[in-house]
Structure 1
Amino acid sequence: MILLTIDEQNFIRAKILKVSTDKVSTDKENNFLIEKIKIQEEQIRDLKEQRRNGKEQLDIKDSQIAQMQNLLDQQQRLALQDKKLLDEYKSEINDLKALKMPTQDTKEEQANSQPQEELETLKEQMEALNDKIKGQEQLNNQVSKKWYQFWK
């Protein structure tokens, strides 16, 4: 049997109480830290999802920009083709006008020698070319209106 003095007993009691209170406070701190870690992990998951969504939106925007550039290139090529066609039609009309309106010296000679049928044919060709030019201009206007409405 061991006998302890009152001071020794008080010392042992103080140590036992301190260990039990330390354990309780440590458990509370651990629970708080665990909860804080869970919140941070959830925030990280949310941020990763937002980042993934942002990347998807950027990819969509990139494809839309590529489409718009392709459409713009097509529109420019069509406008260039239309301009070339108009130039060709104008040169053909000028050629026909040159045939129709001869110089002053040969005007009377050609009027007497040129059959009426050829004149009618040339007039019809000129009218047909004028109609083509008007149709092409209308088509150009429609293309440009469609393009403008596309950007609205």
Structure 2
Amino acid sequence: MNRLEHLDKNLVDELTRAAREAVRDELRDGLRDELREQTRKQRRKAAFYAGAGAAGLYAGAALALAFGLAVALGLPDWAAALITAVVLGVVAHLLRDAARPSAAGPSADTPSVPAAPVSPPQTPERPATPPTVDATRPGGVDPDVPHRPGR
């Protein structure tokens, strides 16, 4: 009978180990498939953003060219190109400033609240505590209690 119990215990242990491995492998495969799907969606979204960025870049270049050609109708070509470059530089500077939250001032839609004056933190004065006297110590002062001379 004891031998059968030993065999049963070994069988239960082996079945438990096999079940755990099967569940672990199934979870790993399921997670792997889910991560692949998420990665595929993110790659697709990134490709669309890249395409939109490229199209926007070409649209901006065409707009700058049209602006330069319109200015060139009344000015020499070099002056039109210079004016176009300055206008694009100003636009780039404004966009950079708009992207910096710390450099941007308060916007029109957020109310401006005046800041309260900042005063240095003040530490409250502690009342002087007399040192604890311990008759068993030499000098009668307990070394574990802080002693502030002159207080």
The structure with the largest helix share of the pair is: 1
TM-score by length of 1: 0.49
Bigger relative contact order (CA 8 A; separation at least 6): 1
Higher Cα Rg, which structure: 1
